[in-house]
Every structure is written in C-alpha cells, then in structure tokens.
Amino acid sequence: MTDSTAALLARPELALADDALVLSHRLGEWAGHAPVLEEEVALANIALDLLGQARALYGELGDEDELAYLREERQFRNCQLTEQPNGDFATTIVRQLFFSRWQELLYGQLTDRPLAVKAVKEVAYHRDHAEHWTLRLGDGTPESHERAQRAVDDLWRYTGELFQPLEGLTVEGHPVDWDTLRVSWDGYVADVLDRATLRVPESPRQSGWRAGAGRQGLHTESFGRMLAEMQHLHRSHPGARW
C-alpha cells in the first residue's frame, strides 16, 4: 500500500466494508456446524450478503483482494463486535441482532447510496432472522434462556462502539444522525429483549479500550488469528491470480 494509505484508512466506507467482511467470515465458520439444516442455509445466506456488501464497498476504494488480504490487523477498521468469536448459537444470534439492527438503521439513513438501498433489504432480513431466534432462545427452555442472557451480557460491552460517529460519513452532504440511530437502536433492543424475557444489561457498553477502538485499528486478541487463517493462502502466493 502506498502514501495514500492513511487517507484510504480514514475513509468511513472502509470501516463499513471491514464490518461486513469480518462478520461474514465469522458466519462462514459455521458451515457444516449449524444446529439444523435450515440454519446452515440461513447463516451461509447472511454471510454471502455481507460478503457482497464488503466487496461492493471495497470496490469503491480500490482492489478488493488487496484490501482484504494484504492489510494487517492494525489497519482493519471493523468494530470489535463483528470480530467476536462465534461461541454458541446464542452468541452468534445476539451478535447478529445487535449488528444487523445497527446496519439496518444506518443504511436506512444512507439513502443517497445505491449500495445502501440494496443492502438495507438484506439487513432487514438478517435482523428479522436474529430477532426470531432471540425470542425462541430467550423464551424457549431454561437452558436456552440462560445461554441467551449470557450472550447478551458478554457482547454488551462491544455495543457502545457502534455509535461512535464514523468521521466523514454523510447523507446528501449532511453527517449521519448518530444520536437518532442510537436512540432507535436502544428502543428496539430493549423491546426485543423484553419480549424474549431477557434483561438489558447494566454493565458498561465499552470494552477496556477507549470507545471506537476497532475503528482505530485496535482489536481483540482473536482477531489476529482470524486474519492469519483468512490471509494465509493469498499471502503465500504473492501476485498470483485466483
């Protein structure tokens, strides 16, 4: 990467693309391990949508493979929520609920971008899928309830980062309305958790890193390992076409 790297890394589209790529990768890890066949289809489907979004956004910025495979951990700008390991099915579902609702609200605002118009339909489906499973798990058996609550509690600390404004992200020349986004997100999540008989945690909504850590290229430990797996083959054959 060249001199323009710094400028490129500051582009808000890159952060959105990294979110989509990284979460897509995590969902891809489920293939062959899902609890029912229908979920093999659903999780792969969501992974594919997100990968498509990532590719479209990378395409606006440069070469998609160079951006995905040749940046290092500190140059990725995805929020930490998306890189969290899959854990059990409840963790995956709650991560998806938190992220998809955020994406749905954000893309809903980005009305001047053709990608967002397409993606908002996809993410509404992702959110719907996660919402239904959150209800089933929260209000299912004692075990599923406990697992769902634990997932909510564990992931809560990564939700604050979602509402740190992405510098430079605008709608028809105006900045995105992050406050409205946060208020809508909070209301929605509180309602779904309530219907799922789950509690909204009172714990902090930020990890030990300062807010916006993922956006600054400061990630959690599992992320480096994820990138190592993702990039290994591409990096082993410099310049090759696939």
Contact footprint for other proteins (CB under 8 A):
21, 25, 28-29, 31-41, 44-45, 47-48, 51-52, 54-55, 58, 64-65, 68-69, 88-89, 135-137, 139-141, 143-144, 147, 229-230, 232-234, 237, 239-242
Specify the residue, 192 or 213, whose C-beta has the smaller distance to other proteins: 192
Specify the residue, 113 or 147, whose C-beta has the smaller distance to other proteins: 147
Helix (H, G, I), strand (E, B) or coil at 105: helix
Buried b (16+ CB within 10 A) or exposed e, 29-54: ebeeebeeeebeebbbbbbebbbbbb
Which are the contacts of 209, defined by CB distance < 8 A and separation ≥ 6?
80, 218
- What number of other Cβ atoms are within 10 A of residue 90's Cβ? 24
CB of 151 to other proteins, least distance (A): 12
Q: Residues 82, 26: contact at Cβ < 8 Å? A: yes
CB of 33 to other proteins, least distance (A): 5
- CA distances in angstroms from 152 to 85, 146, 193, listed in the order given: 14, 10, 9
β 170-171/174-175 pair status: antiparallel
CB of 140 to other proteins, least distance (A): 3
CB of 208 to other proteins, least distance (A): 28
CB of 116 to other proteins, least distance (A): 20
Specify the residue, 90 or 162, whose C-beta has the smaller distance to other proteins: 90
Specify the residue, 203 or 242, whose C-beta has the smaller distance to other proteins: 242
CB of 203 to other proteins, least distance (A): 24
Specify the residue, 51 or 193, whose C-beta has the smaller distance to other proteins: 51
- Helices H, strands E: what count in the chain? 10, 2
Specify the residue, 54 or 192, whose C-beta has the smaller distance to other proteins: 54
Q: How many CA atoms lie within 13 A of 36 on its CB side?
A: 4
Token pair recorded at residue 181: 């986004």
Specify the residue, 33 or 210, whose C-beta has the smaller distance to other proteins: 33
Q: Residues 197, 145: contact at Cβ < 8 Å? A: yes
CB of 52 to other proteins, least distance (A): 7
